[in-house]
Chains A and B, each alone.
Chain A
């Protein structure tokens, strides 16, 4: 399974999770784990997703998510392949 981490950071507002999840569903990306906190009005979410069945190039997905965040929801959305975190934080 190939996994990626999505991070969403920004001012809290209605519909952040809905917006991201709808996009993922439309692109046939399965969500494996979600954790989310709000620190002094700031929304902070991490999702672990399965990108094995991803049909478009990873770069396009990354650009579309960033655009979705910036233009529609008003937050910063970033997607990175999981390995960078595993390598850094696990021996």
Chain B
């Protein structure tokens, strides 16, 4: 039978070390909503989302109360809207109308984000993909809860550089349209390579076309718990270090598994995957950078950071796959800057640069995330940064992403405040040399060869 020390360990994790289930995300297919008439399409979309997710928030809160585990976010992901709107939308404003109805549906069911205002264009863009992408700045400026993502490359298809060039402009335009709110729109826009169909985390969640009609994906978290566990193994060998991370990841994932099973039963929606990600928040003690420091680095970004992060990422997965049979999504350690107090401190101390962050993305899940850059950064430079990150994903067969925020009117030395889970960030310097000519080239970067791995 359970004993008192096990009970206090669990409750200590929850109360003191920020253990929580980060999100229950309901994936909803909107393919059966498709109509050639925009008004009917909007009605179908609203009804499907409302009917599917009306009990999501209440169920999440009930489970949270019964097991004493906080479930921080309840969210929705939908089929990429460029597919759903293809036959009804003829102007960018038509897509913006869909964004508005998604925002309304999300608000009415009480979720805190809805993802899937997306296009998958890793090899080429259809006219509707292009229209959707062009509509992103307006859509994100006039909605609050809608998140957008564009997949511009994959290991199988290469990188669509036309989409990369376009996205540089779109990121800038989104920043300009939301300049009055510190370019907040860009915090809800991700550019992906190898985007997973079942990611529960925002802003990149969408419900892939390979998924069932409705599905529940769960994102666990707990950087604080891992850090606390590592405090007891100072000076120990790497074997002990790895073992400690693994055991902690197991425990954290088991909580996610419990919530997933309960939510699936109560909502009558099949369980999809658990995303084993260490997702930081701006709260003190809920930081991935702090784990790296606990391993023995003065600051995230110091030499050894990439190795420490690689170790962490791998051990989290090893512990997590033992705890749940269905692991998916992004799974690994997230390294957003603005959402992680340890990362912010590292940037402020001058320990962490954009280039080091890029190196770190080679060994962890996702990529350059929530990084504020000067507002004068050109569209071509943003495209260049996106292209670099996409190349890392394509060559290494992993998911990578870029969520950059060119903060209009701000420069290196300034700080931006996004509020809530999105946190705050110092504006980071960007390499000032031009890549204009490279980015102006048309076409695609071909898919990589899968042999001769050097």
Residues of chain A at the chain B interface (Cβ within 8 Å): 5, 7, 33, 35, 37, 44, 46, 48, 58-59, 62, 78-89, 91
- Please report the C-alpha to C-alpha distance between residue A5 and residue B68 in the assembled complex, in whole angstroms: 10
Residues from chain A with a CB closer than 8 A to the CB of B6 are 85, 88-89
Quick one: which of B1-50 are within 8 Å of A by CB? 1-4, 6-11
Whether A80 touches B258, Cβ cut-off 8 Å, given contacts A5-B2, A35-B4, is no
Chain A residues near B4 (CB-CB < 8 A): 35, 37, 44, 46
- When distances are taken between beta carbons in the complex, the residues of chain A under 8 Å from B254 are 87-88
Q: Which residues of B contact A (CB under 8 A)?
A: 1-4, 6-11, 62, 65-69, 251, 254-255, 257-258, 322
Chain B residues with CB under 8 A of A86: 2
Contact A33 B255 (CB under 8 A): no
Q: How far is the CA of A20 from the CA of B230 in the complex (A)?
A: 36
Q: Which of A44, A79, A82 contacts B2 (CB 8 A)?
A: A82
Determine the chain B residues whose CB is within 8 A of the CB of A85 once the complex forms.
Answer: 2, 6-7, 10
Given the complex, which residues of B lie within 8 Å of A82, measured CB to CB? 2
CA distance A78 to B11 in the complex (A): 10
Question: With the chains together, A59 CA to B65 CA distance in Å?
Answer: 7
Q: Which residues of B contact A88 (CB under 8 A)?
A: 6, 10, 251, 254-255
For A7, list chain B residues within 8 Å (CB).
7-8, 11
Q: Does the CB pair A58–B67 fall under 8 Å?
A: no
List of A residues within 8 angstroms of B8 by Cβ: 7, 44, 46
Given A59-B62, A89-B6, answer yes or no on A84-B258 (Cβ-Cβ < 8 Å). Answer: yes
CA distance A35 to B6 in the complex (A): 12
> Shortest Cβ distance from B217 into chain A, in angstroms?
19
| B258 in contact with A83 (CB, 8 Å) | yes
With a CB–CB cut-off of 8 A, which chain A residues contact B67? Answer: 80-81, 83-84
Which residues of A sit under 8 angstroms from B251, Cβ to Cβ? 88-89
Bound-state Cα–Cα, A60 to B67, Å: 14
**Residue picked from A37, A44, A85, A86, most chain B C-beta under 10 Å:** A85
Contact A87 B65 (CB under 8 A): no
Q: How far is the CB of A60 from chain B (nearest CB, A)?
A: 10
Residues of A within 8 A of B1 (CB): 33, 48
B327–chain A nearest beta-carbon distance, Å: 16
With A46-B8, A84-B255 given, name 10 new contacts (CB 8 A): A44-B8, A58-B65, A62-B65, A84-B67, A85-B6, A85-B10, A87-B254, A88-B6, A88-B10, A89-B9
Determine if A87 and B258 form an interchain contact, defined as CB atoms under 8 angstroms apart: yes
4 closest A-B pairs (Cβ-Cβ)? Answer: A80-B68, A87-B254, A46-B4, A84-B67
Write the nearest CB–CB distance from B220 to chain A, whole angstroms.
12
Complex Cα distance, B9 from A26, in Å, reads 30
